[in-house]
Amino acid sequence: MISSTVGIWNYWIVFCLMMIGLFLVIGRKNFLKKIVGLTIFQTSVFLLYITFGKIKGGTPPILNESINTIYSNPLPHVLILTAIVVGVATTALGLSLVLRINSEYGSIEEDDVSAQDLVDYHDDIETGKKLDLKFKK
């Protein structure tokens, strides 16, 4: 009974962590916080995968001499190794986007940025300038 509850408990916490990450992404207006949310979400997905690969009484998948060893599943480990490195690459890209937004708008709050965009849009309409959908340089 205890073992079965604990067995599913891990999944529940992982799902809660995912939802906290998702909330940071869609609920918070600060761009840096959004990227932190993405990182949290990513790490919890890694946890989910590694949890799938675990075998009770297994050892890490490094071959040893004895025959009757149970090895945990190596395939999720490989996938997650790749995903960690790709995750850092996306984090770096997101952070450089945030830095660029900060240098263009002087703020990394979504409300400020969209307010500035709205003001520019209405200015363009009032002056009758031809609207181009390109980002403001």
Q: Which residues in 44-103 contact another protein (CB under 8 A)?
A: 46-47, 50-64, 70-82, 84-93, 95-100, 102-103
Report, in Å, the least distance between residue 123 CB and another protein. 16
Tell me if 15 contacts another protein by CB under 8 A.
yes
Please identify, using beta-carbon distances, which residue of 52 and 121 lies nearer to another protein.
52
DSSP code at position 65: S
Report, in Å, the least distance between residue 103 CB and another protein. 8
3-state secondary structure of 132: coil
Please identify, using beta-carbon distances, which residue of 68 and 82 lies nearer to another protein.
82
Determine the Cα–Cα distance for residues 57 and 43; give it in Å rounded to an integer: 24
Report, in Å, the least distance between residue 125 CB and another protein. 20
Token reading at 65: 């001499």
Per-residue binding letters, 19-38, with another protein (x by CB under 8 A): xxxxxx-xxxxx-xx--x--
Q: How far is CA 86 from CA 45, 81, 99, in A?
A: 13, 9, 20
Q: List the beta bridge partners of residue 59.
A: 71
Q: List the beta bridge partners of residue 71.
A: 59
